[in-house]
Structure 1
């Protein structure tokens, strides 16, 4: 499979799909924006998961990012979406759509692989965490620098997703340092199946997907579903609404967005 170059990709939909044997590839395709996700992309990802569930010929699902001037899996959410969050209803819509996409990916019947290169930030990191397996190149940078950028927060469920692949201490350290994790960091946490050269990422991911596609599907499904239920056991249905509201409706959040767009350091006031 050849992923489109920047000029070619810009004229194509924001998400591309390609079938390679029993493996369905999903390519985030906004290379000029480092594949930052839009609401349409979230909705399309949900739709693709339903299509995969309905097609018994698909045995594995791969997510990756289109090639650009710099490699990127996904550089978080599109900033225009973040700018629009001003009311409780706004942040609820934002969180609900992202959560629906994450849940669709976790619930899809086939094993999922995230093929990571370059920026894997914010919602990109969350979608990668939702996948069963991750493979990366040395260029990957994974994390949530929100404590020094926009000043929002993660839901309890998203923190649980990250802790499930990184551990609680490393998840907290990542957020508190506002540092992006390297391939070595991720591999050291056991969050990667392997680190491969950039030029080999597509081929090695396809080989891994075919390996998973050849295993007993019910064994894989019941294992991933049991682990998901174990992880989510005890999570409050609405236990973090006050925390999300505190950040998303704060003056600090609006300052963080403005500072990010203006390429300056935000001035936090704690309100």
Structure 2
């Protein structure tokens, strides 16, 4: 039994905020925190009352990645858990973030390294505090990328820049991250939580069923051919064209009023 709640959640305006809560350890990822995070994200994904998700950290860091103290201790004890954590924790967490049928915003409140940075890359939008930075630190500890970073990072900044950031393990500050296309927006530290919540609430009031299809089609298009993309777009439009949200949007446009989307 731990003396801290390593993960916090809060709901407001259709938005679930998930906060990594090990501030004394820069929100580094223990087995307990990884398991709690995965369960929380899966719950948010399945809950129709949750229409957008914000992922953030407490204290001065977003997430420093793997908790190396726990990692080394388990290795020295001969525990096989560290060798399974990619399969058991990191891969499922990133799949859940990427496949979440609703928008995910990473509110990056400070340093994000390793798997922590990868979690931010897996979100749909990234709002960074001015004090935030990103570090692909895997090479520094003799490892390769995990948590989907090899897939997400180069889709954000391109192969060449992704290779540079991983091979050189170079820290990227918030302003440079925005110029590279790594983050959507940079705001003063004290404005981050409010800005992320406002953006998430705006998305939560929108056509969330449409957002889910947009995410699916973008993933198909990123991986496939033009024909794959055209087929995915056609399938999505066929479904969305018969939704209540589409009818509501059209009727609201004709009536010159604001639509009331229900995610159906």
Question: TM range, normalised to the smaller chain?
Answer: 0.7 to 0.9
Identify if the C-alpha distance between structure 1 residues 163 and 39 changes in structure 2 by more than 3 Å, giving closer, same or farther.
same
Unpaired runs of 5+ residues, structure 1, are 1-9, 235-271
Q: Does 1:75 align with 2:64?
A: yes
Does the CA-based 8 Å contact 1:157-1:232 persist in structure 2? no
Q: Does 1:146 align with 2:138?
A: yes
Unpaired runs of 5+ residues, structure 2, are 226-264
Q: Give a deviation string over 1:123-180, Cα, whole Å, max 9, x none.
A: 1001001100000011111021333x21111159431111111211111111222211
Does the CA-based 8 Å contact 1:31-1:66 persist in structure 2? yes
Paired position in structure 2 for 1:178: 169
Q: How far did 1:24 drift?
A: 0.2
Distance in 2 (alpha carbons) for counterparts of 1:156 and 1:112: 16
- The 5 A counterparts of 1:1-271 are 11-67=3-59, 71-83=60-72, 84-85=74-75, 92-96=83-87, 97-147=89-139, 149-155=140-146, 157-231=148-222
Does the CA-based 8 Å contact 1:43-1:101 persist in structure 2? no
Aligned to 1:13, the other structure's residue is in SS state coil
Q: How many residues align?
A: 221
Q: How far did 1:230 drift?
A: 4.0
Identify if the C-alpha distance between structure 1 residues 90 and 37 changes in structure 2 by more than 3 Å, giving closer, same or farther.
closer
Q: How far did 1:207 drift?
A: 0.7
Does the CA-based 8 Å contact 2:91-2:148 persist in structure 1? no
- TM-score (normalised: structure 1): 0.75
Q: Give a deviation string over 1:9-40, Cα, whole Å, max 9, x none.
A: x9531001111221100010001100001122
Point out the structure with max Rg over C-alpha. 2
- TM-score (normalised: structure 2): 0.77
Q: How far did 1:233 drift?
A: 5.6
Distance in 2 (alpha carbons) for counterparts of 1:50 and 1:156: 16
Aligned Cα root-mean-square deviation (Å): 2.4
Distance in 2 (alpha carbons) for counterparts of 1:136 and 1:157: 20
Q: Give a deviation string over 1:89-110, Cα, whole Å, max 9, x none.
A: 6564121121111111222221
Paired position in structure 1 for 2:260: none
